[in-house]
Structure 1
Amino acid sequence: MDLHTLIRRLTFDFYKWDTYTDGEVRVSPQPFLLSEEQFDELATIALAFDRLIRPTVEMYHAERRVRRFFQLPLHQRRMMGVEGERRRLGLTQWPGKGYGGIARYDMVPTVAGGWKVLEWNTDVCGGQPECLGLATLLEDEWPEARNPNALLDRLAEGLLANDGFSTPTLGVLYATGYAEDAQVACVLRELLRRRGLRVVIGAPTNLTFARDGLASLFGERVEIIYNYFPTSWFDQLPRRWVRSFLGAYLQGGFDLVTPLDQLIIQNKKISAFWHQYRTWFTAAEQALIRQYVPHTTCFEPRRARLYVEEREAIVLKKIDGRQGEEVVVGRLTTPQAWAEAAASIAREAPHAWTVQEWVDSRPVQFPQPETGQQEWMYPCIGVYVVRGQIGGVYTRLSRTPKTDYRALNVATLIRQG
């Protein structure tokens, strides 16, 4: 498929509107191919971390020192408290050994061999238009490869099997001021409708609640809600609405696709927590953390000068940053800018940042979409897990080791044989 046709099909069939940013095309007609062995390895890692979420969340609910470690803002502490109470009442349950919600685990290949997991996306894990659209449109042109993406099938199966509802209505909440979030809401609505679900989309404040906790979106009753509005932004919503939302949820008026206590996994302090409290976990879980999680600590103002000296060995990450925003990579930053960033963080908001060791990721050669010329690109491979099952793979390629909105989105197909 030529690039022009691909862009047109993505735009009209999969709601991918931002195929160009900063004057450059951000999608490719060339797929990124993984071997079956590579795919199986990535899937095994993702499922292992999906299982690690459960004991981590349970520790938060059970241990005051864990809650002190995360230092969540008040609105997030309330959300965690409501979910903890729902679990105590049996309204939110753990399905099997995995987490049960939707997550995407972002991994990079390393120069030393193997993989490192850099991000755990449980709150607003996007990429659906790119992941589903690119692979669907290109799979027929690559008969020697298969499409691993069953994200929407897994989600639909889970929703249709929800106890008490034969054909539930799903409400998708998203930040309506962001086109990239609207893309996800629209593609979810379209593709889930094809799978037999009724889907209504809207802003959080379009959701209203009856006295018995039942929820409606634009006047239509919704039994299940897919919250694609960042939980870190809930403090920007009207307080009365947030109280009503949490109260109705605690009453059992609706279920969430991804429980609220996922928010500590999205928080970038999670890597520091796993390392600092590693001995609280089983031997297998400790080995998982040591092998795949780059060593991470909370930012300490008294060590700011040391961070300046260690510029090429570390990365600074804001705990609630999104899409590569507010990630300062030492090797990609001038000494002066790095020193200014470290000093600013130490002075203004040290509790909101982490310090992570640099990962020497391994680039691959990939053709530039418009010219076909080979370039060295750094892959970031996100593996979706939906209700404990692999849902698909979302790959982005970047000219630098930092993955952000300028990355090239590519279809991920699995080479057979």
Structure 2
Amino acid sequence: MSRAAQAEDPPRCVPLRAGPVLERAAFHELRRTMELSCFKWDVQVGDTTALAPFPLLLDAATWAHLADLAERLTHETLAAEQEILHRPALQRRISLPRAHQRLFGPGAPPTPAAARVMRFDFHFTTEGWRVSEVNSDVPGGYTEATHLPALMAGFFPGTRAAGDPTKHLVDALLGAAQDLGSLALLSAPGFMEDHQVIAHLARELRDRGAAAVCASPDHIRFHDGRAHLVSAQQGGPLGAIVRFYQAEWFPRLPSAVDWAPLFVGGRTPVCNPGIAALSESKRLPLVWDELGARLDTWRRLLPETRDPRDAPWARDDGWILKSAYCNTGDTVSMRPHMTPLQWATLALRVSLAPSGWVAQRRFVTVPLETPIGPRLPCIGVYTVDGRAAGVYGRVTEKPFIDGAATDAAVLITETDA
């Protein structure tokens, strides 16, 4: 059982606010630019825009604070991974897929990292800043965190983007690939939202003079630990691989696909390497007390997290449920926001397989008044190789962030703005 997060001082004021809405013509042009030039292909979801027509404004002092917290969290996360890598019992506790447990055995060196990218989701709550989770396996949102703030800042003098996670990542990838050849960017066929991420990164790499190819895992072959692209047009080993393919999906691939060197024993550096699957598990807090690594920042910012068998979630709506490898909020569940049948079905699933779930105490996010009504914001802070690199902003009417949340540019203002 993890220890309860230590509350910060109650907030005196909200260090985040919504800016004014863009004029209709300006917002239409911004949306069109994101769609046609920035690989944001899902600017419209049904009848609703996926982009907020206003920015989120964060003062410079608060941004420096969040950047520092994210860097501390990154250091602690990497330390925890290194311990769990050599402890099979803990791998089972965090519900790491069995196929991965077999890989991370004694004498199997983890594949080197071309870069390590994490995104920590911060929420400003009635108790101060809290973190709901880290996206450490395949964090996305690069074009929304790079181009959307840059475009929005042009309409708001005196503001700037928090950073450029795309540039930081591309710099790291080019440094890792060096002169060894092309870079392959992997995603799952048929998932447009994933392909637009690697298409965006591939263009940025090509603009920097690199040969970048969008592919899927079955397009890669390994020889003596070096990755090669299966293509008559490409020869020689790859310089690096960008893996935008979720770790838990690999065991479902046909046996002919050799994906293990993306995790262990590979000589071609990978972003993110398979070891990231260890910290992606939402059950990681359940083994904190068994680690030697200091996790002070995590303990302070993450709400209390328990095994479902040790939490009163069935009778107390102050708890939420999520699966160990929840993605984009797809399994985050709260009884007040579900039908009785949905809740009963979920309760049965959790009761039958509790080791694949966690229960986490709810926090209350402070709502923002925006031009489109009250919204709850999420500030996703990226780190690339341990350094804060930018922000992915989202707003929602729900008490949690999921795939239906609206992307919002986060702009930094001076403290007294």
List alignment gaps of at least 5 residues for structure 1. Answer: 369-374
Q: CA deviation at 1:379?
A: 0.6
| Residues 110 and 192 of structure 1: CA distance in aligned 2, closer, same or farther (over 3 Å) | same
The answer to whether the 8 A contact 1:6-1:29 is kept is no
Provide the residue aligned with 2:7 in structure 1.
Answer: none
> Which residue number corresponds to residue 346 of structure 1?
351
Asked if the contact 2:95–2:281 (Cα under 8 Å) also holds between the matched residues in 1, the reply is no
Structure 1 residue corresponding to 2:118, chosen from 103, 108, 129: 103
State the alpha-carbon separation in 1 of the partners of residues 406 and 385 from structure 2. 28
2:410 pairs, out of 404, 409, 412, with 412
Q: Residue 72 of structure 2 corresponds to which residue in structure 1? A: 48
Q: Distance in 2 between matches of 1:168 and 1:158?
A: 15
1:6-25 mapped onto 2 (5 Å cutoff): 6-25=30-49
Which of the numbers 291, 301, 321 marks the counterpart of 1:292?
Answer: 301
* Matches of 2:262 and 2:138, distance apart in 1: 22
Matched position secondary structure for 2:350: helix
Aligned-residue offset at 1:408: 1.2
Normalised TM-score (structure 1):
0.86
3-state SS of paired residue (1:390): strand
3-state secondary structure, aligned to 1:394: strand
The corresponding residue for 1:204 is 217
Aligned-partner Cα distance in 1 for 2:265–2:83:
24
Deviation at 1:277, TM superposition (A): 3.5
Quick one: distance in 1 between partners of 2:331 and 2:227?
38
**Quick one: structure 1 residues 108 and 168, their matched pair in 2 at CA, closer, same or farther if it must change by over 3 Å?**
farther
Cα deviation for residue 201 of structure 1 reads: 0.7
From the superposition, tell whether residues 32 and 217 of structure 1 become closer, same or farther in structure 2 (CA, over 3 Å): farther
Q: Measure, in 2, the Cα distance between the counterparts of 1:217 and 1:293.
A: 43
The aligned residue for residue 85 of structure 1 is 108
Aligned structure 1 segments of 4 or more residues deviating by more than 6 angstroms: none
1:63 equivalenced with 2:63 (yes/no): no
Which has the larger share of helix? 1
For the 8 Å contact 2:393–2:408, the answer to whether it is kept is yes
Deviation at 1:395, TM superposition (A): 0.6
Q: Which of the numbers 303, 306, 313 marks the counterpart of 1:307?
A: 313
1:402 corresponds, among 400, 403, 407, to: 400
Instruction: Specify every segment of 5 or more residues in structure 2 that has no aligned partner in the other structure, as ranges.
Output: 1-21
Matches of 1:394 and 1:153, distance apart in 2: 14
* Alpha-carbon distance in structure 1 between the residues aligned to 2:278 and 2:403: 24
Q: CA deviation at 1:184?
A: 0.3
Going from structure 1 to structure 2, the CA distance change for 1:212 and 1:138 (only over 3 Å counts) comes to closer
CA contact (8 A) 2:120 2:134 kept: yes
Amino acid at match of 2:165: L
Shift of 1:182: 1.0
In 1, Cα distance between equivalents of 2:262 and 2:384: 25
Q: Tell me the equivalent position of 1:176.
A: 189
Distance 1:247 1:365, change over 3 A: closer
Tell me if structure 1 keeps the 8 A contact 2:95–2:356: no
Equivalent of residue 333 in structure 1, options 328, 333, 338 = 338
Q: Which residue of 2 aligns with 1:281?
A: 293
Contact 1:213–1:249, Cα closer than 8 Å, also in 2: no
Kept in 1, the 8 Å contact 2:176–2:269? The answer is no
- The answer to whether the 8 A contact 1:167-1:197 is kept is no
Contact 1:146–1:416 at 8 Å: present in 2 too?
no
Structure 2 equivalent of residue 192 of structure 1: 205
SS of match in other structure, 1:124: coil
Separation in structure 2 between the aligned mates of residue 14 and residue 345 of structure 1, nearest angstrom: 40
Provide closer, same or farther for how the CA distance between residues 212 and 80 of structure 1 changes in structure 2, counting only shifts above 3 A. closer
- Between Structure 1 and Structure 2, how many residues are aligned? 388
> For 1:60 and 1:190, how far apart are their aligned partners in 2?
36
CA distance in 2, matches of 1:80, 1:101: 18
Query: 1:223, 1:253 within 8 Å by CA — same for their partners in 2?
Result: no
Over 3 Å counting, the alpha-carbon distance change for 1:251 and 1:361 in structure 2 is closer
**Aligned match of 1:356:** 360
Task: Please say if 1:223 is aligned against 2:239.
Answer: yes
Change (3 A) 1:178 1:122: same
What's the counterpart of residue 371 of structure 2?
367
Structure 1 residue 217: Cα displacement: 4.9
| Aligned-partner residue type, residue 244 of structure 2 | Y
> Partner residue of 1:372?
none
Contact 1:32/1:395, CA 8 A, preserved across alignment: yes
| Structure 1 residue 332 displacement after superposition | 2.6
Q: What corresponds to 1:392 in structure 2?
A: 390
Check 1:167–1:138 CA distance in 2 against 1; reply closer, same or farther (3 A cut).
farther
For the aligned residues, what is the CA RMSD? 2.4
Percent of residue pairs bearing the same amino acid type: 26
